[in-house]
Amino acid sequence: MVYLLPFITVCIWGGNTIINKMASEVIEPSAMSFYRWFLAVVVLTPFCLPSVVKQWHLIKPNLSKIGCLALLGMVLNQSLGYYAGLTTTASNMALITSLVPLMSVFMSVPLLGKSISLNSIVGGIIALAGLAFMLGQGDMTFFLHSSITTGDGLMVLTSVCYAAYCVLLKRWKMPLSNWVMVYSQGALALIMLVPLWLSSEQLAPPSTSLPLIAYAGLAASVAAPWMWVKAIDLIGADSSAMFMNLMPVVTLALATALLGEKVHMYHLVGGSLVIGGVILSQVKLHKKSIQPVQNLEHV
């Protein structure tokens, strides 16, 4: 039964991609980003603020690092994801996001001093080929005569930001609990998002967006991280991390059922190559007993 924890977490994060797409139709991305973290911070404050006060002497010297993590993981990553939802499908968003573990492997070379295995190189080539096949709708050479959509490009940038966040989180190991880290980053992200929110044409969230904000702020930003950390404690980091490869599958199923998106053969073929390449890149890391980068929270 403990394996239900990482599975449910992945389902929640997969559902959050659907929320990103649905939110693009009812609320401005700038406002959605702000209200998501406003709700999460308000809910977490009674539980986390006392710990933050107690650990302030540890937080203060690391504020710049925490701020950088907040910018990458909670401002750029999520805001770009909401803007991407305006011009791309949830299916594409899910499959592009699945490249994050692979990007993390390659970013670990300059940032963590890790070496790249042959499996990682081969897996990277396979995954990129799958991504090209999917974005080109079966034509892997599409980039020679056309460009990707704005939304797909933003999702690539989103994935790069989150991969950098994951690697830097591992590089900057701080003597802080997981919840203090999440809360501190969320609070700083909220401050950074205020100017973006003020640029919105409609500052107050429309009533149709409230369920979406509740899901993103409570389920994806509070409940899912708690279950993820609990799963790591119970079954280990490696076993939990492998469940992340199920996220694009979950999202594709939800996109088909809830949004009516059609899953084409190029999605299946390209997605299989992407997921297969990512899994292959992780095999060598597992054999060397190097922990995969863990997610404290997701877009």
Q: Is the pLDDT of residue 290 over 50?
A: no
Task: Pick the range with the lowest mean pLDDT from 105-119, 183-197, 274-288.
Answer: 274-288
15 against 237, higher pLDDT: 15
- Cβ atoms within 10 Å, residue 104: 25
Confidence of residue 4 (pLDDT cuts 50, 70, 90): confident
pLDDT on residue 298: 47
pTM over 0.75: yes
Mean pLDDT computed over every residue of the chain:
86
Q: Is the pLDDT of residue 54 over 90?
A: yes
Confidence of residue 285 (pLDDT cuts 50, 70, 90): very low
Do residues 16 and 298 lie in contact, with contact meaning Cβ atoms separated by under 8 Å? Answer: yes
pLDDT on residue 178: 86
- CA angle, 217 as apex, 213 and 222 as ends, to 5°? 160
DSSP 272: H
Q: Is the pLDDT of residue 286 over 50?
A: no
What is the C-alpha separation between 279 and 132, in angstroms, rounded? 18
CA 272 to chain centre: 19
Q: What is the pLDDT of residues 150-189, one digit of tens each?
A: 999 999 999 999 999 988 988 998 998 889 999 999 999 9
Q: In Å, what is the CA distance from 32 to each residue of 29, 35, 39?
A: 5, 5, 11
Name the amino acid, one letter, at 117: S
What is the C-alpha separation between 210 and 27, in angstroms, rounded? 10
pLDDT on residue 131: 83
Q: What is the pLDDT of residues 233-266, one digit of tens each?
A: 787 766 677 777 788 888 888 998 998 988 888 8
Q: Is the pLDDT of residue 232 over 70?
A: yes
